[in-house]
Amino acid sequence: MSLRLGDTAPDFTQQSSEGDIRFHDWAGDQWVVLFSHPADFTPVCTTELGKTAKLKDEFAKRNVKALAISVDPLESHLKWIDDINDTQQTTVNFPILADADRKVSELYDLIHPNASTTATVRSVFIIDPAKKIRLTLTYPASTGRNFNEILRVIDSLQLTEYHKVATPADWQQGDDVVIVPSLQDEAEIAQRFPKGYVAVRPYLRLTPQPG
């Protein structure tokens, strides 16, 4: 059965390029971006892992850890990392799970028989500090992931986790946000959103981004 939003991300212990990882312990109280790759030495994935390495500071600002997974063995991963570092002019600074036994791939439903009976699909999971799955995305093999969108979603998830707001279409950091419809008490609204709001409709109330 596929994992759904709000499900607890399955725990596991697996080899990685940075030693054995017991997932829940490794994640600690941080957010996690877990993303899968069909195989080592694939061109699109090489660019993605290089991009992830270059975004280390952006992830760190958001209290996020990155974790990649491929079904190839550890020895192959280590050779691939050398290639990523060389071709992408960076240094891979996060672990890549060596899921040769497909244990993690099966837990996270990453083998889709209609796509491939052996290789993992290219999925992304954003997992919060409570180990709950907050976002899933699955990309075709031919399309590289949009890491600006992944960062944008993390920003939205973290903002809406602590404030009674939602983010509208194409929202970026600093844009107006939407007051959630369930919040109707005007005194609480005034306390939470001292800059006020504009009611486009009774159910659509825009306010400057809190914080």
Give pLDDT, residue 198. 97
Residue 48 shares a structural domain with residue 100 = yes
* Burial classification of residue 163, based on how many CB atoms lie within 10 Å of its CB (0-12 exposed, 13-18 middle, 19 or more buried): middle
Is 1 within the bounds of a domain? Answer: no
Which residue numbers in the chain have pLDDT < 70?
A: 1, 112-121
* φ/ψ of residue 73, rounded to 5: -75, 170
Of 9, 21, 27, 45, which one is the catalytic site residue? 45
Q: What is the pLDDT of residue 113?
A: 56
- Is 111 part of the annotated catalytic residue set? no
Could you tell me the CATH number of the domain that includes residue 101? 3.40.30.10
Q: Are 87 and 176 in the same domain?
A: no
Q: Where are the alpha helices (DSSP H) in 119-209?
A: 147-162, 186-192
Q: What is the pLDDT of residue 193?
A: 96
Asked if residue 127 belongs to a domain, the reply is yes
In a domain, 111, yes or no: yes
Q: What is the per-residue pLDDT across 146-178, written as a single tens digit (0 to 9) for each? A: 999 999 999 999 999 999 999 999 999 999 999
Q: What is the pLDDT of residue 142?
A: 84
In 3D space, the residue among 35, 86, 94, 9 whose CA is nearest the CA of residue 60 turns out to be 94
CA angle 29, 34, 38 (to 5 degrees): 165
Q: What is the CATH number of the domain that holds 196?
A: 3.30.1020.10
In a domain, 158, yes or no: no
Q: Name residue 205's beta-bridge partners.
A: 199
Whether 109 is in a domain gets the answer yes
